[in-house]
Structures are given as C-alpha cells and as structure tokens.
A and B are shown apart, each in its own frame.
Chain A
Amino acid sequence: MRTLILDTSGPFTTVLVATEASLSAASILQGRPAEHLHEQIQTSLSCLHIEPPDLDHIAVVVGPGSWTGLNIGVTAAKTLAQVLEIPLSPIRTLDALVTGHVKPAWALMNAGRGRCYYVRYPRLTHDERQTMAVAPLDTVSNQIQTDSNSVTILEYGNTFENQLCGDSRYQSVPRLLPESLIATMKKSRLMEGDAIKALKPAYLQPTLAERDATS
C-alpha cells in the first residue's frame, strides 16, 4: 500500500510517500505551496519510479494552520483522490504534533489575534481525537502553568516561548515530522466518495469579517 502524505499547514511544505508504514520518499521545502507542492509530488514519485495511478491512498493535514496553505493542500489532496478514485485520510495538525510523545500532553499552536489552538491529551488514550479548541493565549497559558509537573507541552511554532521559557515541560516544534505524520495517518479514518469532495480544512475560527458582522 503506497500512501502520499501532504502537509501545507505551516511554514514548510512536506510531501511524503510511505510504503506500508515506512517512509519511501520525502520532499520538504520552505514556503510557497502554491508553486512548489505539485512539483514536490512529481519529484517524490519520480524518484521512486512510480506514477500517480500507482498510489493507493492519500493523507492530508487538514489543520489548523495556514489558511491559504491548507486550502491549497486540501484541494490538491481531494482532487488527486477524486481523479485517482482512491481513499483519503484527514490528519489533524495537533494529533500529528503529539504522536510519539509522552502523555498527558498539551498541543498548542498560534491562532493569531492573540489566541491559540489547543488540545489536552490525557495519559491513556487509544483514540487521538480529543476535542480541539481555540482560546486567548493568556487563558491557555494559565491553565498550563497550573497543570501537573509530568505533562508534556508541545507547541507547533514558538509563540509561547517567552511565556514558558525555562519550563522544562515545554518543547517548540518547527514542523511536523515525517514519522509523526505517518503514524498519525495510520490511525486516521478513511474517507471515500462524496465525503472526500466535502472535506474542508479545520477552520475553527470565523473570519474577521464574520466576527465583526456578528458583533
């Protein structure tokens, strides 16, 4: 089983090809997914001497993350799955962030406008699908600081670095790692048919225009 995995959620554009559960090819470039993503896919497949119809499965990071990056990555993955008639698996950014790390764990990510996305994963869980939420940075920071000493704090990026510097529980992660993406992909649900076409990035917040209109 060959799986193409796409991640355009952050500052790096990652394209992986996994055969069964092992990494076969990887292409990681900084920025500009609109131009680079499909070139990276082409290069990754070429170096394995395979063509797109040889793929059996696609997985894509659906967010949260860069608004434009996710629109590009999710659209690319959905369309490839639609044309090739193969299943698609959505990967949540924060699930991939904590995969392989000791739990309990906080997974954090800057959401802009002074807020952050967060999930607190309990110690024992067979299912990574904990509820993801968005809240002001200070609120989440206060909750973290009163949490147990054994908790792991992982941030995708480094927004919390100043507030949590010196806290030995804190780790900043600049990009999602290939092994984490592959392990998370294995646990993700398979989508087929209309469910693929209906897949949207994980937009947890209304746009500024919608927020202003509501208020």
Chain B
Amino acid sequence: MLILGIDTSCDDTGAAVVRNGDEVLSNVIASQYKAHDRFGGIVPVIAAREHTAKINFILESALEEAGVSFADLDAVAVSHHQGLLLALVVGVSAAKSIALACNIPLIGIHHLEGHIYSNLMGRSETLQFPFLCLTVAGGHTLLLKVVSHGTYELLGHTRDDAAGEVFDKVARHLGLGYPGGAAIEKLAENGNPEAYDFPRPLINRPDGEFSFSGLKTAVIAAIDRDPNLNKADLCASFQQAVVDLLISKTIRMAGEHQLTQITLAGGVALNLPLRTALKHAADDYGYQIFTPRSDLCMDNGAMVAGAAYFLFQERGPDPIGIDTRANAPLGSMGVRYRHDSKYK
C-alpha cells in the first residue's frame, strides 16, 4: 500500500511516500527556520504563508524522489490534529484535493501519533504492544503507554512549557538563534554539566508529571546575572537538568507500569546526550530502548504515512470533510494532555 503523507503542523513543510508503513521511498522537508529566525520563534501566520508557497513543490519532489505519480497512490494521509491551526489547514487542504482528484482514501492523523509511530516504522516485528513512549518536542512533553494501535494511556505530561520550547527560549536568550536545540547541544559538548546547579522541578514526585518553567526561569536569571558567563558550561548544565528530568520520570513510569520496551519520539529525540543517557539508564534496569531514525524525529510526512498505514487498517478512511484542530485529544481513549487555552 503506497501512502503519501503530508505534515504542515508547525514550521516544516513535509511530504513523503511510504510503502506498507515501513519502506520510506521519499521524505522531503522544507524547513522555514530562516523565515522565523529573526523572531526567535515560530510566527503562525508566516508559517501558513510559507506552507502555501511551498507545498506543491514539496509534493512534486516527494513523488519524483519516490519514482511514482499521483495515479500510483493508494491513499493520502495528513496531520489534521494538533499543531498550529493556520499551518495545519494548508496541508489538510492539499491532502483533500489529492484524495478528491485521485479518488483515493483520505486518512487524518493526530500529529503526535505520527511521532509515536515513527518508532514502529521498520520495527513492527520487534516492538510489541504495550510499550512506553516518551514524546519530547517543541510543543509536547509527555509519557504515554501505547496499549495497541490507536489506544494510549497518559502516564504524565508537562504542566507548563515543553522541553523543546525551553531549549528554544534559552537559546534565544543566549542569542543562538532558532531552532535552539541543536545550537545548545553543540555548545554543551565543551561545557561542564556540573558548573551550575540548576533545579530539577518535580523530579522526586512519584508520578510522570513534568515541569520546565522553573528551570527555564533559573537559566535565564543566570544569563541575566552574568553577561560574561561561560556559555558552554551553562548549556551543558541546563541540558543535563533536562535530561535528568526526562530520564528519571521515564524509568520510574516504565517500572510502575511494568513496560520493558521504551520508545523515544519528537524533535528532542535527536539530542544525543538524551539518547545516550536513556540507553545507559535502560541498560541498568534491563529495559529495551527504541529510537526512531534521525530523519523521522523532526516533523515529517513519512511518520504521518507510517502511522496512517497501521491506523487505516484499524479504523478505515476519513470523510473528505474532516476537521482541523489545534488541540485535540489523542487516540480512541481521548487522551487530553494540555489545556485548550494553550493555543488561544
């Protein structure tokens, strides 16, 4: 089954062609970071404008790279829930036009399901339900028990900022530009992770809840206090605090829910110290770690097509009038993990 996947949930215009949920024939991503760099974050109206300008070129490239045409597609999948509403509607409009013109099924995917399923792509034989998924990105930080296809239990989530968002805000305060995660990781390579004793909020609470706003405030205060600070030391210490928080809660929830397979998803999953620390911690407890391919960590169309392949078999196609929502519950059990007011 050949599925075209489209993702325009935030600032990346992504389109990909995936065969049978596993074989990525193409995965084309147009990043908008240059358009948003001077604002230190994503401006939704600019994101929507850039998606509209690029989407048709990206679709063409995805098909060309895969060596297929629109007529060869069996279905089209799109992120229609969770993200920037102004941006989501562009991808959804394109996907609906393709479904209509080619007379093929339309499959709407919750953006987070795409990230979760990026772990299953190419590994559906070895990764078995139920498993634990730590999703860490610019808009989300949550721990989920993935019970079966399309069924999730929320074990914990952030009460305030997402981890990726904090990376971006600290980077902006240090003048490192946007996106901040990679810049901080690079600077941290030469820094001392124990130079600053930053707080680890909620780390001792026996649950899966996260909080990053106190850490963010402490880091920004440290930057403001000392204009001549050692940026490498600060970045290393800040990154270590985030990693400690993520790892401790993940390991705790895996033990409490007796989940021996742990997956990592989202843009922050690219962070090498996080991957390494999670691997070491999992080894200590005898857990198995699965991380997605690096090209499937950031927002992309391939993960949407991958998720669509599995979920289409469970729930079939969606109607051409599917809605688009910035903040939508996840999965068949209606997992809610952030307040509606967050996006208003």
Contacts and interface: CB of A to CB of B under 8 A. Distances in A.
Interface of A: 34-39, 41-42, 51-53, 67-68, 71-80, 82-84, 196-198, 200-201, 203, 207-210, 213
Contacts of B96: 37-38, 76
A70 to B, nearest CB: 8
Interface stretch (B50-58, B210-218, B250-258, B291-299): B50-58
Interface stretch (B156-164, B319-327, B329-337): B319-327
Binding site of A, secondary structure by majority: helix, strand, loop or mixed? Answer: helix
A38 B94 contact: no
Contacts of B259: none
Interface stretch (B37-45, B127-135, B172-180): B37-45
Interface in B82-100: 85-86, 89-90, 92-94, 96-100
A162 B323 CA distance: 37
A17 to B, nearest CB: 14
Contacts of A198: 53, 57
Given A38-B99, A76-B97, 5 more contacts: A34-B93, A35-B322, A35-B323, A67-B48, A207-B43
Binding site of B, secondary structure by majority: helix, strand, loop or mixed? Answer: helix
A82 B89 CA distance: 18
A213 B101 contact: no
B86 A79 contact: no
B60 interface: yes
A36 B101 contact: no
Contact of B46 (A38, A39, A207): A207
B123 interface: no
A151 B47 CA distance: 40
A200 B321 contact: no
B57 A75 contact: no
- What 7 A-B pairs have minimum CB-CB distances, sorted nearest first? A79-B97, A197-B56, A83-B101, A38-B96, A75-B93, A209-B43, A39-B321
Nearest to B56: A197
A36 to B, nearest CB: 7
B45 A207 contact: yes
Nearest to A51: B103
Contacts of B100: 38, 41-42, 52, 80
Contact of A209 (B39, B85, B89, B92): B39
Interface string B20-42: 00000000000000000011000
B86 A38 contact: no
B321 A36 contact: yes
Given A39-B320, A41-B100, A68-B86, A83 B70 contact: yes
B273 to A, nearest CB: 33
A68 B101 CA distance: 22
Contacts of B66: none
B59 A68 contact: no
B281 interface: no
23 contacts: A35-B322, A37-B93, A37-B96, A38-B320, A68-B48, A68-B85, A68-B86, A71-B90, A71-B93, A73-B93, A75-B51, A75-B55, A75-B97, A77-B97, A78-B55, A79-B97, A79-B98, A82-B56, A83-B97, A197-B57, A200-B53, A208-B45, A213-B39
A79 to B, nearest CB: 4
Contacts of A83: 70, 97-98, 101-102
A213 B97 contact: no
Nearest to A70: B52
B49 interface: yes
Given A39-B320, A52-B101, A80-B101, A67 B56 contact: no
A197 B57 CA distance: 6
Contacts of A72: 89-90, 93
Contact of A75 (B46, B90, B102): B90
